[in-house]
Amino acid sequence: MKRTSYIFIGLAIMLSLAFFGSCGKKKAKDGRTDTPTSGTIQFVADESLSPIIEEEKTQFEFEYPNAKLKPLYSDEVTGLQMIKDFKTTLLFTTRGLKDSEIAYLKSKSNVIPSVFPIGYDGLAFIVNKNNNDTCFTVNDLKRILTGKATKWNDVVPGSKRGDIEVVFDNTRSATTNFVVDSVLHGEKFGENIMAAKTSKQVIDYVDQNPGSIGVIGSNWLNDRRDSTNTTFKKNIHVVSVSIKDKATPMNSWKPYQAYLLDGRYPFVRTLYAIVVDPHKALPWSFANYITNPRGQLILFKTGLLPYRGDITFKKVNIKK
């Protein structure tokens, strides 16, 4: 009887070793060792989103100290290509996947990509701090971007500022692609357009060149010292945009959260997480963290508009 028991125990141990051995080989072949709360991964994000992604990354790693997230800040075109080539499992950008892209990924991996919105920001236009011409119509901006208005007096009669220079972060960025699709509706850029390499360089260029207009994501604007998210950076002016035929201070709006929410600011972008993670491990966990209440609160505190949550803005009277 004892001998029979020993045989069964021995067989059980051998089967267990064989099972775990096969699992170990599978994991080694795949190269993934991360879990939802531990391990190291690299992911990709459009550079224009780096301020909010850095905030979310820092808090996630604080809550899960065994997790290490390594962001690669690139342009939207490169990020989408890396997803298609399976060189990354997670991408943050400002557009979802097309049906053809989803079908391609499914055909190559048998994994259904997960695409979900995480929040909203505004496409912001900025000018030099010494430039007080800060109210423009949507049509004014379109004329500038297409090169139909190349001098300041073309949009501001009587202006002596000279030529208008328009600077973007990158020719392949989410910012540039949004302008082409949602502002110009396919029209070509004018010859007065130039590209820096990063959003910070756009801000620096506008700070140093009085005749320039910069185009960046609104998550680059907020003064981090202001917890109310109502103060923009001091070294630039943020343009107010009107959908009317003539822009005035009363009908033009800046990309504050309230105006992104109620639609008064016309250039609103949806921010997306694109996940292609067959293991539903660390990439999936981080993307979902941003959509959960804590991640959405972080997004709100950085001056962007969360995708989830009941948000109410109230008018207050301030007595001086």
Q: Which residue has better confidence, 47 or 233?
A: 47
pLDDT of residue 10: 42
pLDDT in the model for residue 247: 96
What CATH architecture is 39-120+269-306? 3-Layer(aba) Sandwich (3.40)
| Share of the chain residues as helix, strand and coil, in percent rounded to the nearest 5 | 40, 25, 40
The predicted pLDDT at position 200 comes to 92
Are residues 217 and 269 in contact, defined by beta-carbon separation less than 8 angstroms?
A: yes
pLDDT for position 314? 57
Check if the beta carbon of residue 127 is closer than 8 Å to that of residue 237: yes
**Do 39-120+269-306 and 121-268 show the same overall fold?**
yes
Provide the mean pLDDT of the chain.
Answer: 87
Contacts of 186 (CB under 8 A, 6+ apart): 180
The C-alpha atoms of residue 181 and residue 312 are separated, in whole angstroms, by: 31
Lowest average pLDDT, out of 76-85, 283-292, 306-315, goes to 306-315
Within its chain, how far is the Cα of 191 from the centroid?
Answer: 27
Could you read off the pLDDT of 95-119 as tens digits, one per residue?
A: 999 999 999 999 998 889 999 999 9
From CA 195, how far away is CA 216, in angstroms rounded? Answer: 11
Q: Return the pLDDT at 22.
A: 39
**Tokens describing residue 20:** 């775990």
Residues near 297 by Cβ (< 8 Å), separated by ≥ 6? 306
Note the pLDDT of residue 224. 54
pLDDT at 14 over 90: no
Q: What is the pLDDT averaged over residues 231-239?
A: 78
| Segments making up each domain of the chain, as ranges | 39-120+269-306, 121-268
pLDDT over 70 percentage in the chain: 83
Q: Flag whether pLDDT at 192 surpasses 50.
A: yes
Residues 39-53: pLDDT tens digits? Answer: 999 999 999 999 999
pLDDT digits (tens, 9 = 90+) for 193-208: 999 989 999 999 999 9
pLDDT at 28 over 60: no
Q: Band of the pLDDT at 12, cuts 50, 70, 90? A: very low
CATH class of the domain defined by 121-268: alpha beta
Q: Report pLDDT for 26.
A: 47
Contacts of 191 (CB under 8 A, 6+ apart): 147
